[in-house]
Amino acid sequence: MKLASCGHEKEVRKLIASGQWPAASPPELRAHVSRCRACGDLVLVSEVFRQARAESVAAARPVSPALLMWRAQLRRRNTAVERLGRPLLGAQIFAFMVVAVAALCFLGFEARSGAEWLTLGYWRDGFAQLPQIAVLQWEKLSSGASVDAGWGGIVLASAFASLVLLGSVAVYLATDKS
């Protein structure tokens, strides 16, 4: 079966491809298309395809290439930040474990040696006399004598407090997102 071809088909196809159908077509050509089945089918199919393409483009709402590039770069950066965050989590866990071990050691030491310094009387009386005690202890240290055993707990407590403070600052700096 052979499809019939029309002599005006190339001209109609050219006008449709350039988007000038039917506005720029001569009246004789429009009259021919209304009579010729091959040209009429060509115009009908082309109009349906053009309308379907316009509807699909409108439904797709294409975004600009710059926005697509920005999103790709943002996704790449977020992936890199996540990859870098994994070792930071390990550092946070390590800092927490160091502080926890130091706290357990401190509690164990104080449980074995007795916690007299925790009693209310020591805090009430001890802090009032702290400057005099510090001067006496300093004089003993300068003369080469040993320090009283009661000061061991205070030194240990201050060392523990310093460790907790440094550990918490390290954790804060490791988790700071800004």
What pLDDT digit, counting tens, does each position of 119-147 carry? 545 555 555 666 666 666 667 666 765 55
Q: Is 70 within a domain?
A: no
DSSP classification of residue 25: S
- Whether residue 160 sits in one domain with residue 116: yes
- Whether residue 151 sits in one domain with residue 102: yes
Q: Is 43 within a domain?
A: yes
Phi/psi of residue 4, nearest 5 degrees: -75, 140
Query: Which pLDDT value is given to residue 56?
Result: 84
Query: Which pLDDT value is given to residue 2?
Result: 47
Query: Which pLDDT value is given to residue 171?
Result: 73
Query: Which pLDDT value is given to residue 1?
Result: 38
Tell me the two tokens of residue 145. 């004598």
Q: Is 131 within a domain?
A: yes
What is the C-alpha to C-alpha distance for residues 147 and 141, in angstroms, rounded to an integer?
7
- Whether residue 110 sits in one domain with residue 33: no
- Whether residue 123 sits in one domain with residue 168: yes
Angle between helices 9-17 and 37-60 (to 10 degrees): 10
Q: Is 79 within a domain?
A: no
Q: Is 3 within a domain?
A: no
The number of folded domains in the chain is 2
- Whether residue 109 sits in one domain with residue 52: no
Q: Is 4 within a domain?
A: no
- Whether residue 112 sits in one domain with residue 56: no
Say what the pTM is: 0.34
Could you say which residues of the chain have pLDDT below 70? 1-4, 110-138, 140-142, 144-154, 156, 175-178
- Whether residue 164 sits in one domain with residue 91: yes
- Whether residue 108 sits in one domain with residue 44: no
Query: Which residues form the domain of 22?
Result: 9-60
